[in-house]
Structure 1
Amino acid sequence: MKKILKKVLVILLLIPFFSFSQTAEELDFVAPFSDGVAAIKKANSWGFINDKGAIVINFRNDLVLTQFGDSNYPIFKNNRCLISEKKDGITYFGYIDKTGETVITPKFLNASNFKNNEAIALELIKNELGENEILGKNIVYYRYFNVTIDSDGNIKNYLNPKGVNIVLDKKYLRKPPKITSKKIYDNIYAVLNENKKWTIVTTNN
């Protein structure tokens, strides 16, 4: 009996020195590493592995793909990865961190990957004009704005203060509106206006 107890004790002492990891097998695609992790695909789902080869974000269907040459895959930048969620047939965009937790709730009509802790997104604003007495309903309209956000989702700058009117209905909004702004230098952005001409906007970052 004492010999058995000794063997059990030795095994228990050795367990902490052995490591167990989840193995990623039968993958359909493996992306290059970015921000310390690499995207992996199985069937129609994507996950992420770390630099030890262990799966750190399990396979899921809400990760947004970015095009790189002939390939499309999700990517982390500044510890943020784009996700999407459909509400009433409309697609909204947000972000997760490397634990897989949602850190910016999907609420933007479109959004870019982060770069230098900043991203460009389309902020949706709802405006109420008043009540229609005949129908007994509030009259509302929607506009969206090109904005810059920080890694917590806080809006830093409005790049097109006039905004763009939009019909928030899945019949008319079958795909996300395009982001029409781009950063060209530290605090300088180029914004495409309704006349398809570029306007230079300087912010006070």
Structure 2
Amino acid sequence: MSKLFITFVLIPFLGMAQTIENIDYISPFHNEVAAIKKGSQWAFINNEGKIVVDFRSDLVPTKTNNDSYPIFSNDKCLIAHQKNDILYYGYIDKSGKTVITPQFLNATNFKEGKALALKVHRETIGYNDIFKKDVVSYHYFEVAIDSNGTTLEHLTQLALHVSPQNRNDNSPPQITSKLISKNLIAVKGDDAKWRIKKIEQ
């Protein structure tokens, strides 16, 4: 009986390594991803150097020490979209999908499942017969939101009027409250005094 010998030739599989060139800035890793900048656009890479969020112009940089770059925190990154000359802030996940639609005048990065934001309330106060359009007033409140963008708590009781079209710069109104622990928020009053507010889940 003849014996059949089969010889296997093992050819090492060499995966095609991704090379990203002409990068202007590379941030440290946060939440297992790092921001990279090319021109005016930002993207994110994972720890294998693969682009997980492609280059785009709506990512919002966060100031960290002496630098400023977009970051993921709690698997969400801030984005900003302009509508009627107003910037509205929202969030994407690590696939680049919008998970909280831009709707806030300002917002913070998520921390322990919560973020602070300026929620806009639109009020129709009249009608302009000449221009055939509603006369609208905008007010905003500081709120705490959950990971779905749902308001957990109003942090300021009085509505603050805002006319973004008349602002001299593009910077958003400031958020004065601070998330100091998982369920505690420091809220600054008009008298510059602080109060500690507990957020129930």
TM-score higher than 0.5: yes
Shorter-chain TM-score tier: 0.7 to 0.9
The CA deviation string for residues 107-150 of structure 1, in whole angstroms up to 9 with x for no partner, is 10000001111111110011234557898754432211111111
Structure 1, unmatched stretches of 5+, are 1-13
1:202 aligns with one of 176, 195, 198: 198
Partner Cα separation in structure 2 for residue 158 and residue 38 of structure 1: 33
Partner of 1:59: 55
Unaligned runs of 5+ in 2: 1-10
Matched, 1:179 2:175: yes
Q: Confirm or deny: 8 A CA contact 2:186 2:197 kept in the other structure.
A: yes
Check 1:65–1:135 CA distance in 2 against 1; reply closer, same or farther (3 A cut).
closer
Letter in structure 2 aligned against 1:127: E
Per-residue deviation, 1:155? 1.3
Match of 1:72 in 2: 68
CA distance in 2, matches of 1:145, 1:77: 23
Asked if 2 retains the 8 angstrom alpha-carbon contact of 1:90 and 1:173, the reply is: no
The root-mean-square deviation of aligned C-alpha atoms, in Å, is: 2.4
Q: In 1, Cα distance between the equivalents of 2:168 and 2:121?
A: 17
Residue 82 of structure 1, CA deviation: 0.4
Instruction: List structure 1 runs of 4+ shifted beyond 6 angstroms.
Output: 132-136
Paired residues of 2:141 and 2:157 also in contact (CA < 8 A): yes
Q: 2:130 matched to 1:126?
A: no
Assess, with a 3 A threshold, how the Cα gap between structure 1 residues 42 and 140 changes in structure 2: closer, same or farther.
closer
Provide TM-score, normalisation by structure 1.
0.82
Distance of 1:47 and 1:174 partners within structure 2: 23
| Aligned CA distance change for structure 1 residues 63 and 100 (closer, same or farther; 3 Å) | same
SS at match of 2:106: coil
Mapped to 2, the partners of 1:94 and 1:152 lie a distance apart of 11
Q: Aligned AA for 1:111? A: A
Equivalent AA in structure 2 for residue 39 of structure 1: A
Give 1:156's match in structure 2, choosing from 152, 159, 162: 152
The Cα shift of 1:186 comes to 3.5
- Tell me the equivalent position of 2:107: 111
- Residues 171, 155 of structure 1: alpha-carbon distance in 2 compared, 3 angstrom cutoff: same
1:85 to 73, 81, 87: 81
* Structure 1 residue 51 displacement after superposition: 1.3
* Percent of aligned pairs sharing the same letter: 45
Q: Under a length normalisation based on structure 2, what TM-score does the superposition of the two structures give?
A: 0.84
Residue 165 of structure 1 deviates from its aligned partner by 1.8
Aligned mates of 1:45, 1:92 — CA distance in 2: 18
CA distance in 2, matches of 1:165, 1:117: 29
Q: 1 or 2, which has the higher helix percentage?
A: 1
